Amino acid sequence: MAPRPASRTRRPRASLSSVAIMVSDRARSVEWYTAGLGLELIENDGHWVTVGRKGAPATIHLCQYSDLPDLTLEPGETGIDLHLSGDFVRSCRALKARGVRFSRPAVHRPWGWYAKVVDPDGNELRLTPERA
């Protein structure tokens, strides 16, 4: 029996669309993520409320946990990394002046700058300088 020819079918590729953050009050969270962090409201369709940057490939879904009775609020490290434009330390100061709470102020490490902020539900996000 002859070997089968190699398939020319392209392998499927995944890409990031959204990341969900559990929140207790969607309206309060929209305000914090837009007015506080400066993200944009992308979609607002009942349960599906997302923030991010228009034209960017991924968004943050503000998922109100009371809409999903089998889930609970689990505050803490989200693993989400947001890039800040401009001078990083100055941008962090501007966020703090807008009332954004920092769990780790801007700090420089051998690999670069970062800071951590906490949303109204205790979800922690990491901030790093925007890459040039």
- The CATH code for residues 18-129 is 3.10.180.10
Integer Cα distance of 67 and 79 in angstroms: 23
Residues 6 or more apart from 15 whose CB is under 8 A from it? 57
Q: Which tens digits make up the pLDDT trace of 72-102? A: 778 889 999 999 999 999 999 999 999 999 9
Lowest-confidence segment of 5-9, 63-67, 88-92 by average pLDDT: 5-9
What residue ranges do the domains of the chain occupy? 18-129
Q: What is the pLDDT of residue 90?
A: 96
- Is pLDDT of 16 > 90? no
Q: Which tens digits make up the pLDDT trace of 20-33? A: 999 999 999 999 99
